[in-house]
Amino acid sequence: MKNKIIKKASKKNAKTISKNMTFAEILENYPKSANILFESGLHCIGCGGAMYETIEQGCMMHGFSKKKIEELIKKLNNGVLLEKEPTMVEKRKIKGSKK
């Protein structure tokens, strides 16, 4: 019973990607999302705007409709659910604990 409660709580508290997140924030927390962005025609990793531009702003600059932006966000979040790779912060903590 405890395990079910913990699983429900962790799903509820899981951070999901929103249109208001910057590309940098998404890529730092979910590195594998880069593949989905590339497949969608967004090659924003090397762009200077990736640090401060939201995914919605970037999509609009590339001519995405609101519907297409929503579909991309859903696709990214579905990909994040499958992604088990630790975030950059978690990697730093793991590296620090090995010393």
pLDDT score of 11: 44
**What is the pTM (predicted TM-score) of this model?**
0.66
pLDDT at 32: 85
Going along the chain from its start, the domains and CATH numbers come out as 16-82 (1.10.3910.10)
Burial of 96 (0-12, 13-18, 19+ CB in 10 A): exposed
Taking alpha carbons only, the member of 21, 19, 22, 14 closest to residue 80 is 14
Cβ atoms < 10 Å from Cβ of 62: 14
- pLDDT values of the chain reduced to their tens digit, one per residue, 99 residues: 444 443 433 343 357 899 999 998 998 888 889 899 989 988 877 777 778 899 999 999 999 999 999 999 999 998 877 665 556 666 676 666 654
* CA 50 – CA 56 distance, rounded (Å): 12
**CA 28 – CA 24 distance, rounded (Å):** 6
